[in-house]
Amino acid sequence: MESKKFILQERDIPTAWYNVMAEMPTKPHPMLNPGTKQPLKAEDLYPLFSKEASNQEFNMDDKWIEIPDEVREMYKIWRPTPLVRARGLEKALGTKAHIYFKNESVSPVGSHKLNSAIAQAYYCKKEGVTNITTETGAGQWGAALSMAAKHFGLDLAVYMVKVSYNQKPYRRSIMQTYGAEVIASPSMSTKAGRKIITDHPNYQGSLGTAISEAVELAMSTPNCKYVLGSVLNHVALHQTVIGLEAEKQMEMAGEYPDVVIGCFGGGSNFSGISFPFMRHNFSGDKNTRFIAAEPASCPKLTKGELRYDFGDEAGYTPLIPMYTLGHNFSPANIHAGGLRYHGAGAVVSQLRSEGMIDAVDIPQLETFEAATLFARSEGIIPAPESSHAIAAAIREAKKANEEGTAPVILFNLSGHGLIDMAAYDQYLAGDLTNYEVPDAEIKANTEGLQGLN
Ligand SMILES: *Cc1c(COP(=O)(O)O)cnc(C)c1O
């Protein structure tokens, strides 16, 4: 009988995260203080983030960063996650390509987000912080952090993008069940929120706005830190457990990926599956292709500009060197809420500018078609975000069919979609549409942003 799943033991959970910055041929550009335009140092972030997260953010030297025992203990609840050969999908596609997926949907909250939530909550606790705050789009990050905060005895306030708050009420219930306070964003509880509600009373929110609100709360509340679920280097670092496990599991399968794919919101799950494999590209041993799959309605890597931009709507954050659609960009209300973010992290942006990373943008209907095929052939209903990776994998397999090749394709299944059934309902009823961003809108949004030197 041929193997379907490749399973590791608890002792195989990685003991260190892989820090890609230590090995990048060209380091990412520094974040800048928006006032002085001077490069930031780790200390500059201490008021906002935990010290350890701030230090990791700037660590260009250590290739391996130890995972604390308390974090590994928590990882044991669901890690290592399975690597699965998608034989059902291969058959449905009639392809000779070998398709594998790393199943991060088996975490208690249903996504990869817990890998970083636990680490960040742990560092806050260790440093004597009592309150933390964050934003969430579709609610995946908020759910993960709610669980982590409760475990380490921290109080958590989550600003949830209003469109998702209404579309995904069960994610709100999940956060509340873990004991978090959830506020629809934009809200009247912050200056940033009040301003945008006054200017645009019907605004349905964006991750950029929710970040502004959470940052404002953290800066105005004693002993409160802000925690971010994507985009930043330390978040990508924590997610490398995904790729490190997958590397061992591909070895068990006797294969090595020709193509590695992740869906792309701010870059954390894509980085997590990719960077550990990329280190063999750096050393010249392998020549794997890395594909970031983003929505056609929010195409920062395929259509955005490489600029210094804010990470949030109101302009509270440092300036980040990123492929961006502009921090004022307001994405369409697609169901892949976790991919509705205007920019890409600094490391991914640098690697993309050097041609180390490919990107594709995929229309919403194609992602649901892929998701449905995957559900019917593999039995797992994927998150709308993850469906972008599946759609990209299917494109690769179809291309291989045309070319008569048989590549090994690995993608990350970042989460399941069992709390997103309203989106599937709409798709099955024929009520979903595609959205594209006009080039003129991107140009108008990014004009005036500072370039990189
Ligand atoms: C948040 C989320 C994403 C997008 O975030 P990244 O930081 O780009 O990984 C993708 N998939 C799922 C299931 C998510 O919850």
How confident is the model over 86-116, as pLDDT tens digits? 999 999 999 999 999 999 999 999 999 999 9
Is residue 365 a contact partner of residue 435, using CB atoms and an 8 Å limit? no
Atom of ligand 1 lying closest to residue 113 CA: 15
Q: Which residue bears the tokens 């976790």? A: 338
**Percent of the chain topping pLDDT 70:** 100
Neighbours of 371 (CB within 10 A): 25
Give residue 338 CA to ligand 1 midpoint distance, Å: 5
Is residue 275 a contact partner of residue 240, using CB atoms and an 8 Å limit? yes
Give residue 379 CA to ligand 1 midpoint distance, Å: 21
- Predicted confidence band at 298 (pLDDT cuts at 50, 70, 90)? very high
Model pLDDT, residue 168: 84
Average pLDDT over residues 416-443: 94
Whose C-alpha lies nearest to ligand 1, atom 5? 265
Distances from the Cα of 264 to the Cα of 5, 194, 217, 331, 362, angstroms:
25, 30, 27, 14, 11
- Predicted confidence band at 65 (pLDDT cuts at 50, 70, 90)? very high
Which domains occur in the chain, in start order? Answer: 4-13+66-110+236-446 (3.40.50.1100)
The model carries a pTM of: 0.96
In 3D space, the residue among 95, 78, 138, 144 whose CA is nearest the CA of residue 117 turns out to be 144
> Which residue among 135, 260, 269, 340 has the greatest number of ligand 1 atoms within 8 angstroms of its CB, and so is best to mutate?
269
Model pLDDT, residue 333: 78
Whose C-alpha lies nearest to ligand 1, atom 3? 338
Average pLDDT over residues 125-145: 95
- Whether 116 lines ligand 1, by a CB cut-off of 6 Å, is no
Lowest mean pLDDT among 70-74, 99-103, 280-284, 313-317: 313-317
H helices of 98-168, in order, are 114-126, 140-151, 162-167
How confident is the model over 155-180, as pLDDT tens digits? 999 999 998 898 888 999 999 999 99
Question: What are the strands, taking DSSP E only, across 192-252?
Answer: 224-226
Residue 453 has pLDDT above 80, yes or no: no
